[in-house]
Amino acid sequence: MPETGHAEVLIVGGGIIGLAVAWRVRRRGMVVTLLERGATGQGTSRVAAGMLAPVAEVEFGQAGRRALELGLRSSAMWPAFAAELQEASDVELELRQTGTLLLARDADEARELERQLCLRGSLGLRVERLRPSEAREREPALAPTLRLALEAPDDHSIDPRPVLAALREACERAGVKLREHTAVARVELDGDRVCGVALEDGERIAAEQIVLAAGPWSELIAGLPSGARVPVRPVKGQILRLRDPAGPGLLRRTVRFEGGYLLPRGDGRYVLGASMEERGFELAPTAGGVHELLRDAHELVPGVRDLQIEELAVGLRPGTPDNAPAIGHGALDGLLWATGHHRNGILLAPLTAELLTGLLDPSAVAPDAQELLGTCAPGRFTPPPGAAEAAEESSLASAGGLL
């Protein structure tokens, strides 16, 4: 089939990442086409709870620190990003700045929470240790058996579904060419440079720059040599959407505990999430998954029993081998990656859009972009040239030594 179009920037994938990048890049005046195989905003982003929680998510080690840097930077961007997006789309967005409680229900979990408190203290993060009675004063729905709580007042939330609707509207108004029900089969190359994509129906679209933002499906797009791919795997998450028939008031803050979280939307709706399962692309909801979510939440917030179930959803988080995102140029000229956001794609959407915009239009580059992009370099999973041969030689040598 002949070439039917040309884009300065072609974005593959219409989840929160692809849409946010498209909107921001288009506002710099570039010609942007976004290709989405279904309808925009129906992938993993629609399933997400919407926690913007870099402080609660922080983990020990270097990788944890790097993730924290990205998370804090993006979290600080959310208030202005949401306000601008609301204005650009006329879709109402509510950023809930109510903070998060981390809970322990027994002595082991309380010890672990103390360790987590030290870690956050050492990183200069705002976290307050609360006795059970203090936590219950703030959230009376918590069980009397609670052992310990930490409050992270700067971890917030937003409902991703209105955000996705707003991004779609803002993209359309700004002049992004949105092509839904358009599946990309392969990326096309001209030597070491990308030159366009071929769609599943055979149509070809030429492009100077391609952004791969296809979430956990990014690695399935054909046409890239193995050294130019970013490994992305799906991490299954089951999540319940609940409603309190009595209206809002059971909880004000998000509460997190070993095995899950319960997030109030503020209007009587709650999100109870989420399982973390390595099961490939399987999307089946399971009785065991739901049982574990409800059991854990019920131990800490007994009132959960009276909530009505509105929806059980399953999503696939895009995870790289180190679970940090892949943002920026890879091995091929003209190909940029924006995937692998794992548990934090909603949180990291504003920052990802800013970093990609700076790469596509260097006049828009953020002062700390180089450092942040270093953390997310897509090439970090590619062994340096000659490494595979060296490894083979050394294993042959040690095998020889055994004989």
Ligand X SMILES: Cc1cc2nc3c(=O)[nH]c(=O)nc-3n(C[C@H](O)[C@H](O)[C@H](O)COP(=O)(O)OP(=O)(O)OC[C@H]3O[C@@H](n4cnc5c(N)ncnc54)[C@H](O)[C@@H]3O)c2cc1C
- Cα dihedral 253→74→235→96 (10° resolution): 20
Rg (CA), the chain: 22
Site stretch for ligand X (CB under 6 A), options 2-10, 44-52, 62-70, 297-305: 44-52
Assigned token pair, 98: 């109510």
Site stretch for ligand X (CB under 6 A), options 34-42, 88-96, 101-109, 378-386: 34-42
Q: Is 347 in the site for ligand X (CB under 6 A)?
A: yes
Q: Which of 289, 318, 358, 378 binds ligand X (CB under 6 A)?
A: 318
Kindly tell me which of 148 and 347 has the beta carbon lying closer to ligand X. 347
Q: Tokens 């709706």 map to which residue?
A: 269
Angle between helices 16-26 and 160-174 (to 10 degrees): 30
Min dist CB 383 to ligand X, Å, is 25
Q: Is 18 in the site for ligand X (CB under 6 A)?
A: yes
**Nearest-angstrom CA–CA distance, 230 and 334:** 15
Binding to ligand X, residues 214-253 (CB under 6 A): 214-215, 217, 221, 237, 239
Kindly tell me which of 148 and 346 has the beta carbon lying closer to ligand X. 346
Q: Is 289 in the site for ligand X (CB under 6 A)?
A: no
Q: Is 350 in the site for ligand X (CB under 6 A)?
A: no
Closest CA relative to residue 71, chosen from 153, 162, 155:
155
**Nearest-angstrom CA–CA distance, 128 and 113:** 11
Kindly tell me which of 334 and 350 has the beta carbon lying closer to ligand X. 350
Angle at 378 (CA atoms; ends 64, 221), nearest 5 degrees: 125
**Nearest-angstrom CA–CA distance, 324 and 341:** 6
DSSP letter assigned to residue 176 = -
Min dist CB 214 to ligand X, Å, is 4
Min dist CB 384 to ligand X, Å, is 28
Alpha-helical (H) ranges within 243-348 are: 287-300
Cβ-contact 194, 188 below 8 angstroms:
yes
Kindly tell me which of 338 and 369 has the beta carbon lying closer to ligand X. 338
Kindly tell me which of 148 and 265 has the beta carbon lying closer to ligand X. 265
Kindly tell me which of 316 and 369 has the beta carbon lying closer to ligand X. 316
Site stretch for ligand X (CB under 6 A), options 15-23, 112-120, 169-177, 299-307: 15-23
Min dist CB 394 to ligand X, Å, is 37
Q: Tokens 């059970």 map to which residue?
A: 132
Closest CA relative to residue 230, chosen from 213, 248, 255:
213
Q: Tokens 């650009």 map to which residue?
A: 88
Min dist CB 285 to ligand X, Å, is 11
Site stretch for ligand X (CB under 6 A), options 92-100, 165-173, 339-347, 364-372: 339-347
Kindly tell me which of 284 and 403 has the beta carbon lying closer to ligand X. 284
Q: Is 36 in the site for ligand X (CB under 6 A)?
A: yes
Q: Which residues pair with 311 in a beta bridge?
A: 241
Backbone angles phi, psi at 173, to 5 degrees: -65, -35
Give the binding site for ligand X (CB under 6 A): 12-18, 35-38, 42-45, 47-51, 183-184, 213-215, 217, 221, 237, 239, 273-274, 315, 317-318, 339, 341-347
